[in-house]
């Protein structure tokens, strides 16, 4: 009984970890939206977030990878520089801008186009091969098309307001703070809806580009914690420069023990440090497809939390687009899963062949050795006979 219970817990660990991560990501989206509504600059938020992330990851990188850290070269440095520009700077700033214009649920739903975008970029850079005769490849292409259609639907069609049972009345606490910006549940204009959609799509494209480049960089710089630390640190410096250019008021840097500090610390420590480590463990054990399959759960959690806490308004266009995006997402993930299974099956098939080849080679070597031995016996015998005959002749 104890062994069976222990086995169940061991199998349940990846599920518990990924579900917990989705709650962590959802909390980040809601806290960030509250902070942005309170007037915090998203440029400053990016700086503080990655400063916290750097401080929380750096000690582990210094201690755990001090003996395995590769040597830094200029080509690797420039790759890390571009990774920092794509991730902390472009992705985070555009995502936060889209989040401010729309809402947490919308931004989370739109960001589910990430696997499809990554697949398209991988095909462009010849990291993926299109084999349209195979069902798995057809599933990935179809999923990509459906995902893009869902993103376009969310961008171009707003639709009527969805009346949810728990959002018919506004929370009385929403107006408790005099310094609060327009409420999160305020009506979203068509212009803000379109701009928010474009910003989130640009952010997701930058994140997909980061994945493609990181795949190449990690082969040359295999210390993952050190790589993440460097990306966060250089990204912090780049974000500081961007903030000085975009924000001329020095007051935007002011931060106290309030929601703004909580949002920055939470995003940096929980979603950029703890989540990175936990997700890395899950991916190592189950693979990236398993980890990606839980991302729609975050959208559902954010929708519930956002409607309760922020009185967020949800529109029909967003719901329909989200359904298409999730359907396309799982189609892409299914195709990727089948591809992984095929590679594993090919690897298992190749192992017996590799075992047969050395055996055959050793048999050939043994036969060759026998031939060499036989030739040697024949040579020595004939030489001995000839020598004996010569000696007899001489006598």
| Long-range Cβ contacts of 156-161 (<8 Å, 24+ apart) | 156/194, 156/317, 157/317, 157/320, 157/321, 158/188, 158/190, 158/193, 158/315, 158/316, 158/317, 158/318, 159/315, 159/316, 159/317, 159/318, 159/319, 159/320, 160/315, 160/316, 161/313, 161/314, 161/315, 161/316
Q: How would residue 391 be classed by pLDDT, with cut points 50, 70 and 90?
A: very low
| Residue 343 confidence (pLDDT) | 82
pLDDT greater at residue 310 or residue 257: 257
Range among 19-33, 112-126, 297-311 with highest mean pLDDT value: 19-33
77-108: pLDDT as tens digits: 999 999 999 998 999 999 999 998 988 988 98
Q: How would residue 4 be classed by pLDDT, with cut points 50, 70 and 90?
A: low
Q: Which of 33-37, 99-103, 358-362 has the lowest mean pLDDT?
A: 358-362
Other beta carbons within 10 Å of 253: 14
248-300: pLDDT as tens digits: 888 999 988 889 999 999 999 998 888 877 887 787 777 666 777 787 888 88
- On the question of pLDDT at 184 being above 60, the answer is no
Q: How would residue 166 be classed by pLDDT, with cut points 50, 70 and 90?
A: low
- The residues, any chain, with a CB within 8 Å of residue 391's CB and separated by 6 or more, are none
- On the question of pLDDT at 367 being above 50, the answer is no
Q: Could you please report the per-residue DSSP string of 161-209? A: BP--GGGSS--GGGGS-TT--S-TTSPPPHHHHHHHHHHHHHHHHHHHH
Provide the whole-model pTM: 0.77
- The residues, any chain, with a CB within 8 Å of residue 222's CB and separated by 6 or more, are 68, 70
| Mean pLDDT rounded to a whole number for the chain | 80
Residue in this structure with the two tokens 């582990």, named with its chain if needed: 60
101-152: pLDDT as tens digits: 988 988 988 888 888 888 888 888 888 888 888 998 999 899 999 998 999 8
Q: How would residue 41 be classed by pLDDT, with cut points 50, 70 and 90?
A: very high
Q: How would residue 2 be classed by pLDDT, with cut points 50, 70 and 90?
A: low
| Residue 176 confidence (pLDDT) | 43
pLDDT greater at residue 354 or residue 272: 272
What distance lies between CA 143 and its chain's CA centroid? 18
193-218: pLDDT as tens digits: 899 999 999 999 998 898 888 888 98
pLDDT greater at residue 54 or residue 3: 54
Q: How would residue 393 be classed by pLDDT, with cut points 50, 70 and 90?
A: very low
% the chain with pLDDT above 70:
81
């Amino acid at each position: 009984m104890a062994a069976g219970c222990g086995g169940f817990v061991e199998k349940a660990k990846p599920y518990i970890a990924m579900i917990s991560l989705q709650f962590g990501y959802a909390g980040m989206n809601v806290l960030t939206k509250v902070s942005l509504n309170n007037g915090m600059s998203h440029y400053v938020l990016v700086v503080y977030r990655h400063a916290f992330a750097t401080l929380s990851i750096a000690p582990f990188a210094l201690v755990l990878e001090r003996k395995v850290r590769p040597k830094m070269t200029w080509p690797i440095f420039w790759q890390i520089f571009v990774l920092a520009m794509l991730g902390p700077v472009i992705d985070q700033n555009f995502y936060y801008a889209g989040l401010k214009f729309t809402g947490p649920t919308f931004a989370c739903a739109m960001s589910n186009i990430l696997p499809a975008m990554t697949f398209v970029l991988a095909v462009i850079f010849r990291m993926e091969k299109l084999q349209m005769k195979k069902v798995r490849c057809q599933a990935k292409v179809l999923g990509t098309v459906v995902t893009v259609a869902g993103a376009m639907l969310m961008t171009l069609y707003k639709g009527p307001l969805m009346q949810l049972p728990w959002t018919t009345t506004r929370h009385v606490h929403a107006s408790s703070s005099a310094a609060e910006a327009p409420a999160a549940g305020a009506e979203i204009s068509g212009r803000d809806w379109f701009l928010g959609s474009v910003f989130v799509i640009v952010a997701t494209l930058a994140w997909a580009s980061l994945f493609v480049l990181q795949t190449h960089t990690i082969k040359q710089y295999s210390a993952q914690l050190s790589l993440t630390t460097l990306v966060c640190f250089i990204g912090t410096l780049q974000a500081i420069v961007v903030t000085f250019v975009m924000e001329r008021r020095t007051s935007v840097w002011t931060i106290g023990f309030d929601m703004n500090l909580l949002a920055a610390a939470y995003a940096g420590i929980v979603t950029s440090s703890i989540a990175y480590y936990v997700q890395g463990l899950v991916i190592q054990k189950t693979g990236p497809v398993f980890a990606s399959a839980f991302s729609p759960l975050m959208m559902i959690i954010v929708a519930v939390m956002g409607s309760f806490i922020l009185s967020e308004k949800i529109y029909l266009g967003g719901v329909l687009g989200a359904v298409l995006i999730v359907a396309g997402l799982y189609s892409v993930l299914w195709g990727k899963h089948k591809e992984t299974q095929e590679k594993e099956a090919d690897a298992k098939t190749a192992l017996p062949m590799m075992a047969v080849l050395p055996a055959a080679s050793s048999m050939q070597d043994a036969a060759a050795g026998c031939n060499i031995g036989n030739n040697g016996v024949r040579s020595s015998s004939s030489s001995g006979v000839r020598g004996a005959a010569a000696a007899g002749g001489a006598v």
